[in-house]
Amino acid sequence: MDSKRLSKSKATGWSDMPHDILLRIFAFVSIMDRMLNVSRVCSSWRRACSDAVFSSTLDISEYRKSQDYQQQGWRSQLELIFQRGIHLGGPKLTKLVFDIDFEVEDTHLTYAAERCPNLQELLLHIPVRTTEQGLATAFRRWTMLERLYISFFGRPHVNIFSIVGERCPLLTELKICGCFFNNRIAVLIGRHMPGLKKLSFRCAFVTRDGVQSLLNMMQDLDELYICVRKIEVPFYRHTGPGPAIMCEPRFLQNTSRLSVYHICYTGECGTCPASTMATPLPINF
């Protein structure tokens, strides 16, 4: 009798719990604890933490909610979270969000692309440490990418629009956060990403020529969201639920084919995709 009870107790230990039960329990554990602590307990717990229920998304910015954020060694923690999350996610990872304080280098992009080739959604901050070759190598593997959110302060030092446009045929949505949106950037997007259906940008300054070029070049565009602090042409504000629109006839003519054309000032709209982008803007925006 004692031996039967002993064998039964061993079979119901924490490491022997059914996979579905572990999934339910770990759902109450924070993402950071799952990656950095729980997944290291034993092989069965690691398999549970690697389940697609948890590992399809890696949002490094979640670390900001941790009490350890901005404490000693927090940058190395970001690096550890990235490596552990990529390792656990592997081919199951479909969404990757880099934190703005994470100093992305070519090695990070290559590491993620080699292990997570099925990425469909990416939020990336373009630092000076990334090179055109590094970006090209990574996006060559991310052919299933559908949604891309990028931020850059000042003029981007690499033509990421050309790199992504040539390697990601399924891309339909692009969000941009930067200091300005001018005709040069508009032409790059229109030339290399003509198949976009949804475009959002949040910038401190938007030029009239940039928006005009964008509308002329992107005939397949269906939704356009703009969140700005300053713009060269006047605005007309609706008091009702409709979007704010530029009142110049040439803009109205070009935007009539869009299902959504929305423009707002920073801080005054909390619903459009451009104003709700998680990426912080430059100082004094």
48 domain residue, yes or no = yes
CATH of the domain at 27: 1.20.1280
Is residue 102 in some structural domain?
no
- Count of domains for the chain: 1
Asked whether residue 35 is assigned to any structural domain, the reply reads yes
- More confidently predicted of 207 and 174: 174
Q: What is the mean pLDDT of residues 260-265?
A: 80
Average pLDDT over residues 60-89: 74
Between 73-77, 134-138, 276-280, the lowest mean confidence (pLDDT) is in: 276-280
For residues 133-146, give the mean pLDDT: 93
245 is a domain residue: no
Does 49 fall in a domain?
yes
Residue 37 maps to a domain? yes
Q: Yes or no: say if 32 and 61 are a contact pair by the CB < 8 Å rule.
A: no
Structure-model confidence comparison of residues 22 and 68, the more confident one: 22
Q: Which domain holds residue 46?
A: 15-54
Q: Which of 28-32, 93-97, 220-224 has the lowest mean pLDDT?
A: 28-32
pLDDT at 242: 32
- Residue 238: is its pLDDT beyond 60? no
77 located within any domain? no
- Position 70 confidence tier, pLDDT thresholds 50, 70, 90: low
Please check whether residue 33 lies inside any domain of the structure. Answer: yes
More confident residue, 249 or 49: 49
